[in-house]
Amino acid sequence: MDISLYKRKGVVANKHMLTLANYSVNEIYEIIHTAVMLKQKQHAGKKHEYLKGKTLAMIFAKSSTRTRVSFEQGIKQLGGTALVLRQDDIQLGRGETIRDTALVLGRYGIDGIMIRTFKQSDVEELAKYSSCPVINGLTDDYHPCQVLADLMTIYEHFGKLEGLKMAYFGDGNNMAHSLMIGGAKVGMEVVCCCPDGYRPNEDIVNSAAQFGKVSVTDNVDEAAKDCDVIYTDVFFSMGQEKTKEKIDALMPYQVNEQLMAKAARGAVFMHCLPAHRGEEVTEGVIDGAQSIVFEEAENRLHAQKAVMYLLMKNR
99 is catalytic: no
Q: Between 122 and 222, name the residue whose CB sits nearer to ligand NVA.
A: 122
- Judged by CB under 6 A, does residue 65 bind ligand CP? yes
138: left (phi > 0), else alpha (psi -120 to 50), else beta? left
* Shortest Å, Cβ 34 to ligand NVA: 23
Report what 233 binds from ligand NVA, ligand CP, none; CB cut-off 5-8 Å by kind: ligand NVA
300 is catalytic: yes
Report what 65 binds from ligand NVA, ligand CP, none; CB cut-off 5-8 Å by kind: ligand CP
271 strand-pairing partners? 232
Residues 214 and 192 sit within 8 Å (Cβ to Cβ): yes
Length of the chain equals 315
Contact residues toward ligand NVA (CB under 6 A) are: 138, 173-175, 233-234, 237-238, 272
Burial (CB < 10 A; 0-12, 13-18, 19+), residue 125, is middle
- Judged by CB under 6 A, does residue 67 bind ligand CP? yes
d(CA 68, CA 59): 10
Q: Which of 89, 14, 29, 81 is nearest to 53 (CA)?
A: 81
48 is catalytic: no
Instruction: Give the phi and the psi of residue 220 in degrees, each rounded to 5.
Output: -65, -45
Between residue 120 and residue 139, which ones bind ligand CP under the rule CB under 6 A?
Answer: 138
Q: Between 148 and 312, name the residue whose CB sits nearer to ligand NVA.
A: 148
- Judged by CB under 6 A, does residue 18 bind ligand CP? no
Report what 147 binds from ligand CP, ligand NVA, none; CB cut-off 5-8 Å by kind: none
* Shortest Å, Cβ 237 to ligand NVA: 3
Choose one: 60-68, 74-82, 91-99, 261-269; the region binding ligand CP (CB under 6 A).
60-68
* Shortest Å, Cβ 311 to ligand NVA: 21
Using CB under 6 A as the binding criterion, the count of chain residues that bind ligand CP stands at 9
Report what 243 binds from ligand NVA, ligand CP, none; CB cut-off 5-8 Å by kind: none
* Shortest Å, Cβ 58 to ligand NVA: 15
Catalytic residue among 233, 254, 271, 302: 233
116 is catalytic: yes
What string marks each residue from 145 to 184 as x (binds ligand CP by CB under 6 A) or -?
-x--------------------------------------
Rounded to 5°, angle at Cα 208 from 122 and 130: 25
d(CA 253, CA 256): 9
- Contacts with ligand CP by CB under 6 A lie at 64-67, 138, 146, 272-274
| Catalytic residue set | 116, 143, 146, 233, 272, 300
